[in-house]
Structure 1
Amino acid sequence: MTTQLRLTETVGTLVRDHPALATLFERARIDYCCGGRQTLAEACAQQGIDPQGFLQELEAALETAPVASMEVAYDSLTALIDHIETVHHAYLHQELPHLEARVAQVVAAHGHKDARLGQLQSCVAALAAELQAHLQKEEQILFPLLRQLEADPNSTLRSFIQAPIACMEQEHQKTGAALAQLRRLTDDFTPPAWACNTYRALLAGLLRLEQDLHQHIHKENNLLFPRAIAEL
């Protein structure tokens, strides 16, 4: 039986309820994490995509790869936070230094061939610094607060939850803008003909970074934060 989707549903909700759709949204360059509150119709209009045609493509994908809601996989806020930290935070802590080192090698070897490589290095460095500070705020302030509030819903700390969540969402918007800049500077992560293996590895790493951050931010913006506000 075909799953009936609606153009009035938000893209964040669609990926929350049907995680397999994330791949199609990635291909269509539809932002389902930072832009998760826009409707499917709005997202298609923004990208110049035929909404009815794309809707049918999404529904066809669900026929061949039906999946359960991502939300039901985590029976508590703490379980979802643990997942975000062990999967996405751990990945960033490990990968960001490697990406910074790799882009420095590429600039040293090939910076004279493409002036944008210097801009790419600056963008990667700025994004890494912002993400490291962001992770620290979540790990030391927001996530412990959410765990504590789930353990004790009557805690007086409830009144403090909105501000740090709003701050994290604003920082997610900056991350989305930085990822868009990385794409522009690398021609959608496409290696030039003269690219060495290190350059190609850098571009593959940046693409993986983008994909992981899309999933990471989606899980926070469209699952964790709304659920925390509703339940607490």
Structure 2
Amino acid sequence: MSKSVAEIKQEFEKAGEKEWPLLWERYSTDERSGVINIIKKYQKKFINLQEERARLVSMRKYEEQYRDCRLICGIDEAGRGPLAGPVVAGAVILPADCEILYLNDSKKLSAAKREQLYDEIMEKAVAVGVGMAGPARIDEINILQATYEAMRAAVFDLGVKPDILLNDAVTIPGIEIPQVPIIKGDARSVSIAAASIIAKVTRDRLMVQYDEVLPGYGFARHKGYGSKEHIEAIRELGPTPIHRRSFIGNFIGG
């Protein structure tokens, strides 16, 4: 007696991707539309996974180039542009054989996907560090210097000393570790992409918390960026302690 479509579907769901080709070969002569659709679905998933792994290989170019270095650390930041909140830096050291599917520049990912990848990075990474500089510090030393400060703090927070830093576009002053600045590195290096996700998720979660204690500004929605809603709130309610005074002078009359 042949299996029902529901049973075959369950069989595919329980199987690993290495078993999918065996299953669609097994049921290739089944002419039921439900089975045909199941096979097509898993053939597409199989192809998509192959393409994703090929993309990740290309994103390991720099990690392979510096594979003689035992601890390769990716560095990136989130929050240089907003009107409120800190600038946050992430530092991530991944194992040499680490595979995290769909790892990418955090800006290219949905919030839900970033959260999912954040948990996977935290689980698989050799070390993760986070550093930040608050609004007052940004106003004091300017956003670029505050970003460097946050990056240095993230490296220190790792708890181990990396052999090399792969940075998203910048060279961080005040660090003796060899550095490689990579333009658009968050889309070209798995280590930097992981760091960008850590920084972005950490900052977004913080802005959601700020929204709870400073209601009326919409921090949970715009995360401190200069949206129309945010600018109108600043003009109506005035600045908060987490606003960057050097960024909002045009909206509060200096």
- Verify same fold: TM over 0.5: no
Structure 1 or 2: more helix by fraction: 1
Structure 1 or 2: more strand by fraction: 2
TM-score, normalised relative to structure 2: 0.23
TM-score, normalised relative to structure 1: 0.25
Q: Which protein is bigger by CA-based radius of gyration?
A: 2
